[in-house]
Structure 1
Amino acid sequence: MPEDAFALAAGQSGRAAFAEDPAASRGRLFAESSSPTRTPFQRDRDRIVHSAAFRRLKHKTQVFVPYEGDTYRTRLTHTIEVSQIARALARAFSLDEDLTEAVALVHDFGHTPFGHAGERALDRRMSAYGGFDHNAQSLRIVTALESRYAEFDGLNLSFETLEGLVKHNGPLTGPHAVGEGGEGHPVPRPILDFDAQMPLGLGRFADLEAQAAAISDDIAYNTHDLDDGLRAGLIALSDIEELDLAGSILREVRTKYPGLDPSRTIHEIMRRHITRLVEDVIRATAKGLAEIGPQSADDVRDAGRQIIRFSPDMEAAVTQTRRFLFTRLYRCDSVMRVMLEAERVVEALFDRFAERPELMPRDWSAGLADLSEDRLMRRIADYLSGMTDTYAIGEYQRLFDAVPQLR
C-alpha cells in the first residue's frame, strides 16, 4: 500500500489531530466517575459487547433466516466483520480505534427479527405513532431499553459514541441531510426526543471514527452478501462477470489459478474484494484530508461532506454491486417469499399484542393501564423489535398454534 496514503496521520503510535481525544470526551448524559484503567470509549465498547442487545444479534437475519444454513451471515457476524474493517481504517489514519469499534459494534442494535422485512412490517403498524426506524431504535436501546445498571436506564454511552450511532451516515437535518431524516423526511421521533436531552448536533457531520464505521458497513455487506448469494446458489460465478469490481477480480483469479474449485474461487474473489475497497477508501480519504486539512474533530464535523469515502470510480462500482444485489438476491423469488411471510408474522404478532397487550411477558405488560395509546404501541414495537428470529417464531407458535412457513 502506498506510504503517502498515511501521510496525514500522526503515525501508527499516535493520534491524528483530527481524531477524537478520549480525554476530551463531551461526557455522558448521567455523569460517572472516570475509570483508572479504561478510556471512555473503551468503556463504551465493553458495555456494548456485554449488552443483551449485542447477544441477540446472533439470531437475527442478515439476508437468510438462520435454519437455511449455518454458514450464512447473521447480524452478529456481519457486525463483527464491520468492526474488523473499521478498526483497519481507524488504524490507517490514527483515529481512536476504540471509538470506531464501538460505533461499528452498536450500529445494528435496532434491527428487528427477519431483518428489513421486520422493519417494514413494524413501520407500517407504527405509521400513526411516529413510525419505526432501526437506527432510531438502536438509540432507544442504548439510552432507555437496556435495563442493567442501578443508576440509569440504557448503557449511558458517551456523546461521541451516541453521535456516531445516530449520524454515521451523515447529518439528519439541514442542507446536508441524508437518509430517512434527510430533506423531505422527518427525523425519527426517538432521535428528536433524545436530542432534546443531549444535543447531538443533528445538522453536522459525524467525526471520522463514525464515518469509518459507516463505510465499513458498506464494504462488509457488499462483499459478504455476494459471498452468501454465491454459496446459496442464488448467484452464479458467471453472473458476477458483468460487475466492474467483482467481475475483474474473477478474471484475475481465473488467470492466476486455472482450474481452481468454485469454493476457493469464491473466497479468493471476496478477500480481494474487501482489500480493493479498503485500499480505495484509504487513498480517497487521504486525498480528501489533504484538500480539507482538518485540525480537529470539530473541523471534520464542519467540513460540509463525508471525508471518509470511496473514489468516484469505486463509488460507481459499489453502486453497481448494490443494484445487482438488490435485483438478483434481495428481490429474488425465494428470498422474497420468505421475507413476505416474515412480514406477515411480525404484523400478526403486533396486531395480537395490540388487541391483548397482557399477552406480553410480565416485564413488558406491567403498568399497561398507565400508558397512552401512543406509548402502548411504542412498547409493543420495542418488544417485537428486540426479538430474535427464533423467539419471534416461538411467540407466533404460542399465540396462533401454527408454524410460519419461512423456508
Structure 2
Amino acid sequence: MASTIPPRAPYAEDPSTSRGRKFAEPESRTRTPFARDRDRIIHSTAFRRLKEKTQVFVAHEGDHFRTRLTHSLEVAQIARSLATALGLDPDLAETIALAHDLGHPPFGHAGEDELQVQMQGFGGFDHNVQTFRVVTRLERRYPRFDGLNLTWETLEGVIKHNGPVVDKLDRPSWRAIAEFDKDYDLRLGTWASAEAQVAALADDIAYNNHDVDDGVQAGLFFLKELLDVPLIGPHVASALKDWPECDQSIVRMEAVRRMIGAMVDDVLAETRRRAEAGKVRSGEDVRNLDHALVAFSRDMVEDLSALRAFLMERMYRHWRVNRTRSQARRILAEMFQLFMAEPDVLPTEWSERAMSRDEAYKARVVCDYIAGMTDRFAIEEHRKLFHLDVWG
C-alpha cells in the first residue's frame, strides 16, 4: 500500500509568509526561503569541518564511528521524516537540524568543557551561542554581509530549538545573542516553531541510538548487556528472537533501527495529542504555549533517562574515553594559553584581529580560531607548536 503525505498542519511554518532576512535579498526563483537556508548551510565552511569533529570518539580512532557531520545528516533525515509526518515544513526542520552542531569545537564535549574553562573571565563559551555566531558573523562568503543571512525562522530555531532562552541573556556567554536581538527581535521569551522543536527531538533520537551502536562497536559494552536496559533492551530481545542465526552486527543494527522507529512513533503520537489538547491552530499558538508542542511521552522520557544513565556509566565515563578527553583538553588548553601569550603565532588574519583590541576581544578571537578546528587539525597544530620533531 502506497504511503500518503499528511496534509499541511495549520501550525506549520509557511515559507511564503517568512519574516524574511536581516539584510533584504531578492527571492530565489527555484527554492523556498527555507530550502535556500539549507543550501547555504550545506555549502558553508563550518559544515564541511564537521566531517572531522567528533561526538564521543576522536576522529582518528575509527572510520565507522559517528562524526558531527554524519550525526548532523542523521538528525536531518529524522527531522525531515518527522516534519513530513506531522504536516510541517520539512525544509525548515531539516535546515535547523543541519545547523545545530556548527558551533561545536573539536573533541566533542571535552573540547567544549575546556573552552568554557579557558574563557572564564572573557565572556565564557557555549556551543549553541557559537553556532549562532557562526551563521550570523563568522562565516564570510558574501560581499554585503557577514554570516549566512538566514531567515528569521531559521535563526529563531537555531537559538531556541530547546525552548525559550530569555533567562540566559544575563550570562556572559550569551552577550552576542542579546546584542543581535536588540536589532533583530527573535522573540527569545517564546518557544520556537514546531519545525525547530522537531529538530531538537530528532537530535535526541539520533544521538541516543548511534551512541548505543558506536558503544557496542567500540567494545565498551556487549549487545547482550543491553537486554536489561530500558528502551533498547526489548528491541535487542525481539531482534535476537526474530533472527537467532544472524550475525551479531546485523542484530545490533536491527535493534537500533527498531528503537529509532519506536521513538519516532512516540513523538508523533505525543505531539498530536498535545496539539489537540492545546487547540493549537497556528504557529503563534505553538510559540505561546507554556510547554513544548513536540515532545516524548512521559513513559519514553523515563526510559530515555535510564538509557542515558547506562551510557553515562559504561560509555561516556569509560576509562578509554576519559583518557582521550584528558588528552584533548590538554591540547586545547596549551594552544589557547600560547595564542593568548603570543598572538603573533596565529595565522596572519587571526593575528591581526587578536592584537587589534583588548584582552577579552583577543580571547574571543583565539576561541573562535580553536572552536573552528577539526580534531585532526587541532592535533597537528599542537604538534607544530609544541614539538620540534616536526621540523626534522
TM-score for the superposition, normalised by structure 1: 0.92
Q: Is the 8 A contact 2:236 2:255 kept in 1?
A: yes
How far did residue 373 of structure 1 move? Answer: 1.2
How far did residue 107 of structure 1 move? Answer: 0.1
**Of 261, 267, 270, which residue of structure 2 is paired with 1:284?**
270
**Of 165, 172, 175, which residue of structure 2 is paired with 1:172?**
165
**Of 183, 186, 200, which residue of structure 2 is paired with 1:200?**
186
Aligned counterparts of 1:105 and 1:318: Cα–Cα separation in 2: 23
Aligned counterparts of 2:388 and 2:113: Cα–Cα separation in 1: 22
**Of 198, 209, 215, which residue of structure 1 is paired with 2:201?**
215
Aligned counterparts of 1:123 and 1:339: Cα–Cα separation in 2: 14
> Which letter maps to 2:42?
V
> Which letter maps to 1:121?
E
Aligned counterparts of 1:47 and 1:15: Cα–Cα separation in 2: 25
> Which letter maps to 1:371?
R
Aligned counterparts of 1:41 and 1:329: Cα–Cα separation in 2: 37
Aligned counterparts of 1:325 and 1:394: Cα–Cα separation in 2: 30
Answer yes or no: is 1:81 the counterpart of 2:70: no
Aligned counterparts of 2:295 and 2:241: Cα–Cα separation in 1: 30
**Of 83, 98, 105, which residue of structure 1 is paired with 2:98?**
105
SS in 1 for 2:165: coil
Runs of 4+ residues over 2 Å off in structure 1: 11-15, 184-187, 367-370
Q: 1:341 to 1:369 in 2, by over 3 A?
A: closer
Answer yes or no: is 1:149 the counterpart of 2:135: no
Alignment of 1:5-404 (within 5 A): 12=5, 14-173=7-166, 181=168, 188-401=174-387
- State percent identity of aligned pairs: 48
TM-score for the superposition, normalised by structure 2: 0.96
Q: Is the 8 A contact 2:114 2:333 kept in 1?
A: yes
How far did residue 198 of structure 1 move? Answer: 1.2
> Which letter maps to 1:165?
V
Tell which deviates more after alignment, 287-296 or 378-387. 287-296
Tell which deviates more after alignment, 113-122 or 235-244. 235-244
Aligned counterparts of 1:90 and 1:267: Cα–Cα separation in 2: 24
SS in 2 for 1:366: helix
CA deviations 1:69-126 (Å, max 9, x no partner) are: 1011000000000000000110011111111110000000000000110111111111
> Which letter maps to 1:47?
R
Aligned counterparts of 2:329 and 2:355: Cα–Cα separation in 1: 29
Q: Structure 2: state its 5+ residue gaps.
A: none
How far did residue 367 of structure 1 move? Answer: 4.2
How far did residue 208 of structure 1 move? Answer: 0.3
Aligned counterparts of 1:253 and 1:13: Cα–Cα separation in 2: 30
Q: 1:60 to 1:250 in 2, by over 3 A?
A: same
Q: CA RMSD in A?
A: 1.8
> Which letter maps to 1:218?
D
> Which letter maps to 1:245?
L
Aligned counterparts of 1:323 and 1:189: Cα–Cα separation in 2: 33
Q: How many residues align?
A: 388
